[in-house]
Structure 1
């Protein structure tokens, strides 16, 4: 497996310019909502990845399904790439215009279309963010649990098959998307799935599009599962003498079948950064941040069991948060960990991992990765949804020092190779994008990736849907 290195993710000669006739058509249809301004294009040509790619030529701000279909129909006619854009929070280069083209900004498609509280479902436009959704349904007694950390759009979360802090109990986007409205590569509007809880009717097109990273179609509407707000919620933090002790505690909790809702790991570096950013006074040692959902009695029983397990591994300083305000403070700090860490090295870029392994192999995966990180000497931090075997080790690199990028990529390669040896995956939730294309071939095998290519060619014969992502055609 070859580690991806800077400036090897795209071929300038492969860029496909937007012809004047198409640009005129877009401006005639969208007016001021079609922009070629440099600042607008540059904003839509970068994400949170460390990869630099020239921006798209045009950005179109869509407000309806018909808007998206109109853009795609023009793009299909002229064989020009289109790249869906939500809020720009992706980490693997998903929205970068590697072959040029048009960025379809879906942020104005931000309406909650239909709440069916009695069926525990909701249908939203793709630009609705997870916090907006929960704010708009709070009076129903329901909530949407998928929480990837960033305030991502539901469309982007569906496209990358996101998960996050609650996945250990509520699953990922794969389990929680019931149906879609999709604009296909030819500009046709199709619907997949229903609001029913199950179906055995035909191919499961919903699951095909969820996780496809915009390479098969543009998702414009999504129907989701909702869940009743739990009767009782309690959060706790617990400090440990080592990362291994925290991980061993997690493994025991999961193997004992404790229905913990969240189980997040922060290493010493992440805790220190959060303390500085949010003016907290957390013990600067490896920490688990946990949450329990259920009845009052059930939550108390879960918490007691976890506390006993943690003490067996040296866990101390249990701090409980039972009020909404106290829990929000803790989880806000966790969500700030990424940006808090970046601020510890001004001007840095981040090369981050996203491996996931079977829970029994988690300690080995993290411990060996930490040893390599310490030996390399690059600044780093760890956060992880360790309850489902997923963790992120992020390196803070100086973009002006190519050797740091190369070291970080080498370490990332070693981490992925280790995860695959342990029967895990190169990406638990971030997706493949550009950064993990070589890793996917190693994980899935050339035969399986060729089947993916066949699907791509069949559904997108002109290769206009976010080309150059997941695999090369």
Structure 2
């Protein structure tokens, strides 16, 4: 995949003049060091490192405004950067330009516990936010595997293990403050839980990957820490049975908080890396939230479904430390996978399909993996039809790279044919732009029209999502 992306032509700006102006404004908060630039031009991906020409470390909305105005004046690209955990090259700089690092904008500005919301800067990470919220009895539920920044999670419309109950970022962002391509600052909403006032600009910016505006404040919905939490693991003899158990659980209306699938290879990897002792068969990780009575009822209902499909026994993890260890193992799945084949690269991808097609899609994907002789564990947030494949690939083996590319193409084509999507949560970046026409058709032209209207100079993260 590396080196295969074909970029459109973009009018060159006056980089020297922009750097001179930025240096005068930011002094020791601007870096052109090679190591810093490379750090900001690469993510957990198999795409080439594409470093920016310089990195500016912003500390306020005013800083972002100044960077945008200088770059707009000299037609130089701007690439927002949070923690660099994106998977489809969202922070790479194919045209060079200025990476604006928002990690120092890391304040929790307000917590309105009585209204179940808070206001944060984009550099706050999800783990730190929940640490600060703990004393209020509230938590923020969106949990992608990495300790991502909230700004980055907004940019990619992030999801995670809790999405089946609490939704994704689009469901948990009330309002944004954003700097637009001309340096103007807008507010996209209020703290009200609903509104019919005009276009939904909040939803437009959530998932836009920094191509329409740079987010500098986020108003988030919060949720009460549940009275009771219970969960555990449930093994199955076959992958099909595990998938069918997920489908039956969701279709039965059981309000499961988390339901994650690990195939047998992923269980083997997680056992070795996270020191677990699970049976190496397809396994579901589950968690239930609610009252003591509600959690007990939900667990029993799931147990009946699992038993009917030959699953079990359902092994409870009542101890919070044991449960935390299981979920940490789930979040560490990618790193565990790297040990399955030391010395090669891991390429993570995801698709999402309607829940009724989940088993069919996963089984066909597994068949492709076996046919092509790939080392590629499957793991996923299957409660909402989303699953991931981490392919271990030797980038120096051209034949193997070609097999992986064909596998990726088939995976996406299958998901789209099932009325699904090329990406459930990783986002588009530049890695999946080529699939949008097949998935969305004429809607891509509407996206381009919006991009041109809001960013006529094409300076905001150019080359991502849509190609102008």
Please point out which of 241, 247, 253 is paired with 2:237.
241
Match for residue 154 of structure 1?
A: 150
Match for residue 467 of structure 1?
A: 462
Measured in 2, the distance between the counterparts of 1:426 and 1:324 equals 35
Q: Provide the aligned C-alpha RMSD in A.
A: 1.3
Q: Calculate the TM-score normalised by the size of structure 1.
A: 0.97
Measured in 1, the distance between the counterparts of 2:49 and 2:3 equals 8
What SS does the corresponding residue of 1:224 show, helix, strand or coil? Answer: strand
Please point out which of 112, 117, 124 is paired with 1:116.
112
Does structure 1 residue 225 correspond to structure 2 residue 215? Answer: no
Alpha-carbon displacement from aligned partner over 1:409-447 (angstroms, at most 9, x marks no partner): 2111111111111111111111111111111110000x2
What SS does the corresponding residue of 1:223 show, helix, strand or coil? Answer: strand
Provide closer, same or farther for how the CA distance between residues 391 and 247 of structure 1 changes in structure 2, counting only shifts above 3 A.
same
Does structure 1 residue 341 correspond to structure 2 residue 333? Answer: no
Does structure 1 residue 450 correspond to structure 2 residue 445? Answer: yes
Does structure 1 residue 322 correspond to structure 2 residue 318? Answer: yes
Residue 177 of structure 1 contacts residue 225 of structure 1 at CA under 8 Å; is this kept in 2? Answer: yes
Q: Calculate the TM-score normalised by the size of structure 2.
A: 0.98
Provide closer, same or farther for how the CA distance between residues 10 and 55 of structure 1 changes in structure 2, counting only shifts above 3 A.
farther
Does structure 1 residue 75 correspond to structure 2 residue 71? Answer: yes
Does structure 1 residue 392 correspond to structure 2 residue 378? Answer: no
Unaligned 5+ segments in structure 2 are none
Task: Report deviation, 1:14.
Answer: 4.9
Q: Choose 71-80 or 278-287, whichever is displaced more.
A: 278-287
Please point out which of 419, 422, 426 is paired with 2:418.
422
Residue 16 of structure 1 contacts residue 100 of structure 1 at CA under 8 Å; is this kept in 2? Answer: no
Task: Report deviation, 1:279.
Answer: 1.4
Does structure 1 residue 274 correspond to structure 2 residue 270? Answer: yes
What SS does the corresponding residue of 2:407 show, helix, strand or coil? Answer: helix
Unaligned 5+ segments in structure 1 are none
Match for residue 373 of structure 2?
A: 377
What SS does the corresponding residue of 2:314 show, helix, strand or coil? Answer: strand
Measured in 2, the distance between the counterparts of 1:455 and 1:407 equals 36
Measured in 2, the distance between the counterparts of 1:194 and 1:272 equals 47
Task: Report deviation, 1:403.
Answer: 2.0
Measured in 2, the distance between the counterparts of 1:342 and 1:183 equals 39
Task: Report deviation, 1:21.
Answer: 1.8
Task: Report deviation, 1:366.
Answer: 0.4
Residue 244 of structure 2 contacts residue 359 of structure 2 at CA under 8 Å; is this kept in 1? Answer: yes
Q: Choose 9-18 or 21-30, whichever is displaced more.
A: 9-18
Does structure 1 residue 97 correspond to structure 2 residue 59? Answer: no
What SS does the corresponding residue of 1:134 show, helix, strand or coil? Answer: helix
Q: Choose 326-335 or 112-121, whichever is displaced more.
A: 326-335
Does structure 1 residue 308 correspond to structure 2 residue 304? Answer: yes
Alignment of 1:112-151 (within 5 A): 112-151=108-147
Measured in 2, the distance between the counterparts of 1:345 and 1:10 equals 30
How many residues align structurally? Answer: 468
Residue 288 of structure 2 contacts residue 299 of structure 2 at CA under 8 Å; is this kept in 1? Answer: yes
Measured in 2, the distance between the counterparts of 1:212 and 1:8 equals 23
Task: Report deviation, 1:20.
Answer: 1.9
Alignment of 1:163-174 (within 5 A): 163-174=159-170
